[in-house]
């Protein structure tokens, strides 16, 4: 199962449109958003995806009630963080972040080292990462937004192979 992973879109519609094009071209079966959509109109642009979207809220997501309503209208699922999924026989944990970037990385590493998850997906730091920690594949897709660090990225995760790649937008 090929999963597209995005995070930190922060209302950058041009980059969201690019992400949608790449995800559709690559034929992902599911898109996971690790939070910080910011406004509901971002979800409407993500409505052009050919795959279902499941996501968690981030620290910059404003009107969660409206975000949930728009998500439901589009057939998407939004959850508080962390959110657990079982996909292709793998236990997947999705979160945005906790505190600052240093704290977020520390929490993700602790969860991975503790075991229990095959894949941990997170955002918040705006920096892409693919790593093996303990027995888990740890992936941060970076930022679709592309303005904080000058790189607009997403991740593709092959769950059968437990491998991921970062894709530049």
Query: pLDDT for 50-64, tens place per residue?
Result: 999 999 999 999 899
Q: Kindly provide the residue ranges of all beta strands, DSSP E only, lying in 10-162, ordered along the sequence.
A: 30-33, 52-56, 77-79, 83-87, 90-94, 119-121, 129-133, 136-140, 153-158
- State mean pLDDT over 107-123: 97
Q: Is pTM beyond 0.85 here?
A: yes
- CATH number (3.40.470.10, 3.90.930.12, 3.40.50.300, 3.60.21.10) of 2-168 reads 3.60.21.10
- Residue-level pLDDT at 62: 87
Domain layout of the chain by residue ranges: 2-168
């Amino acid at each position: 199962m090929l999963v597209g992973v995005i995070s930190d879109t922060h209302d950058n519609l041009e980059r969201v449109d690019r992400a949608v094009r790449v995800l559709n071209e690559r034929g992902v079966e599911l898109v996971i958003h690790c939070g910080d959509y910011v406004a509901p109109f971002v979800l409407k642009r993500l409505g052009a995806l050919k795959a279902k979207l499941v996501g968690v809220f981030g620290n910059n997501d404003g009107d969660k009630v409206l975000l949930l309503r728009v998500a439901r209208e589009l057939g998407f699922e939004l959850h508080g963080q962390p959110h657990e999924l079982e996909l292709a026989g793998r236990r997947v944990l999705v979160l945005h972040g906790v505190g600052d970037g240093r704290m977020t990385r520390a929490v993700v590493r602790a969860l991975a080292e503790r075991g229990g998850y095959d894949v941990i997906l997170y955002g918040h730091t705006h920096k892409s990462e693919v790593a093996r920690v303990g027995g888990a594949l740890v992936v941060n897709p970076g930022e679709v937004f592309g303005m904080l660090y000058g790189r607009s990225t997403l991740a593709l995760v092959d769950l059968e192979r437990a491998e991921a790649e970062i894709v530049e937008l």
